[in-house]
Amino acid sequence: MYQIKHKRALNSSVTEMEISAPLVAAKAKPGQFIILRVDEEGERIPLTVAGTNPEEGTVKIIFQIVGATTMALNAKQEGDFIQDFTGPLGTATAIEGKKKVCVIGGGVGCAIAMPVAKAFHDQGTEVTSIIGFRNKDILILEDEFRSFSDKLIVTTDDGSYGFHGNVTVPLKEMLDNGEQFDEILTIGPLIMMKFVVATARPYNIPVTVSMNPIMIDGTGMCGGCRLTLNQDGKRVTKFACVDGPDFNGYEVDFDEAMSRNRMYTDFEIIKRDETCNLLKKEAN
């Protein structure tokens, strides 16, 4: 079992934990993920590695409390244990050879974008970061991004903080003004990534997207995380857990991916309500 060493709330619905997992901490790289179970009867969920401390033997995860498993995980406290913590899984983000990049994170996707921005920064790449949120109240990781970025733009949909608008607005302004990047890497809601790709397309700048579809085993066996890519006029099936999670944004069928991600919405609501009621009973 794996002990929770540190826990803090980043906002009302997003939590950061550091988990004691020395073998994972020694191997994990930016862009990779782990799969955990809270207890013996729990479901398997993938969470991106948000940072590692090999000396301490800990792995940082950041998650949004949206369903039954993340609700149960958030009920755990420092010193408690979780059942399983498997990884690192997936392919690490390719950062070599890039001199100037734009890293774009949306909402809790910033937890995935942050270690990637840091990795680029640490190798001497010039990093422009754009992070977007619905409003100021759910802003996370601003200080971390500022320390890893040569330029940071914070956006809010309602204008309550930073730039008023979504992440594509400052991106388009920069591109219209002649800004050049070796790559744009975007991580966040599927609809956001779809429009980042659409914004960058006229400028022929490579766009990498980090996909987080429904996933069960993390080894390519279940097929739940399959994506459709359009490559050379052909529709090709790939698996995010082993072929990704990073993909060429111009190839991803985002409409299909969004449709698949909504398949279990009703079931997730039922399980979340059941878990909520169970946690209330345990608290009493």
pLDDT in tens, 223-255: 888 999 999 999 999 999 999 999 999 999 999
More confident of the two residues 43 and 261: 43
User: Structure tokens of 129?
Assistant: 């970061």
pTM: 0.89
Task: Note the pLDDT of residue 279.
Answer: 57
- List Cα–Cα distances, 198 to 40, 180, 251, in angstroms: 43, 16, 12
- List Cα–Cα distances, 97 to 120, 123, 145, 180, in angstroms: 10, 10, 21, 15
- Please determine, for residue 271, whether its predicted confidence score (pLDDT) is greater than 90: no
- Enumerate domains of the chain plus CATH numbers: 2-89 (2.40.30.10), 100-261 (3.40.50.80)
In angstroms, rounded to a whole number, what is the distance separating the alpha carbons of residues 194 and 202? 14
- Please determine, for residue 73, whether its predicted confidence score (pLDDT) is greater than 80: yes
Report how many helices (DSSP H) and strands (DSSP E) the chain contains, helices first.
Answer: 9, 16
Mean pLDDT over residues 94-102, rounded? 96
